[in-house]
Amino acid sequence: MLFGAHVSIAGGLENAPRNANEIGCEIFQMFTRPPQGGPVAAINNVTVEKFLSECKRYKLKEWYVHAPYIINFASGNNRIRFGSINTIKTELERASIIEARYLMAHLGSYKDLGHDLGLAQVVEGIETIFKEYKGTTQLLVEISAGAGEIIGRTFDEIAEIVNHKKLKKYNIGVCYDTQHGFASGYDIRTPKAVETTLKKFDQTIGLDKLKLSHCNDSLTELGSHKDRHAHIGEGLIGKAGFEAFLANKKLENINFICETEHDKVVEDIETLKNIRKNK
């Protein structure tokens, strides 16, 4: 059980490991391109060598890439649809080059096509990627907070993608975000609530699919369907909730990434380390 945060790559990808080390990360997450779109810097051999050297220098155990926010596999606009397929394929390849273990992605929204047609298009798009992809980075579908018709609002929606008969062989995993899950109605505020939520996850998706967790408290109440992160212990999940979550034996080999505001992310990581030490 290791802890870290999302860090900046300002000035170059090779700066991310140093940025991670400065805030106490054991692991870290980053974008490799602007999250809202824009020019994409090439990852050349010099950059890769510097990046991996810095990871080794700071004794960082793992690192992950978050896909940009412009993805929508279920879009009714073909430019967006095929652009999303290309972006995820490219990001998987870029992540593999820098030896990132996972690529996290939100897959878009069903609002254009509805659930059934949208799901079919999502499956087709992911299948297109993996028919050609030869890299090592594993794709993770992240649970969403559930606003509107965002894909992945429930365990059932995630399961019908990662366990789909056409996709199962590609070993797609899941990233569980504590705030998104809470906003979607999955409680983790007590040991009993954590056990109930993890049991439902296992029955619906399979705990073997759970690879990583984003660790964020919530500014909004259970089932709010609003994506509003808070610092650990300062939201409605509360410190006791994270103590209960991290104490569950089913999560003892899961790593945690904070996506909280930079002003107190050092304290968030330290809080999680103290919970780990005392559990």
Domains and CATH numbers, the chain: 3-278 (3.20.20.150)
pLDDT (0 to 100) of residue 40? 87
Do 172 and 206 contact (CB within 8 A), yes or no?
A: no
Q: What is the pLDDT of residue 146?
A: 78
pLDDT of residue 129: 97
Instruction: Decide: pTM greater than 0.75.
Output: yes
* Residue 8 CA: distances (Å) to CA of 22, 31, 36: 12, 8, 14
Q: Are 80 and 51 in contact (CB under 8 A)?
A: no
Q: Mean pLDDT per segment of 10 residues, for the chain of length 279 residues?
A: 97 96 98 86 95 98 96 96 97 98 97 96 98 96 90 96 97 98 98 98 98 98 96 98 97 97 96 94
pLDDT for the residue 257: 98
pLDDT for res 35: 85
Q: Where are the beta strands (DSSP E) in the chain?
A: 3-6, 27-30, 62-66, 102-105, 138-142, 173-177, 210-214, 217-218, 229-230, 255-258
**What pLDDT shows up at residue 8?**
96
Q: What was the pLDDT predicted at 46? A: 96
pLDDT at 147: 79
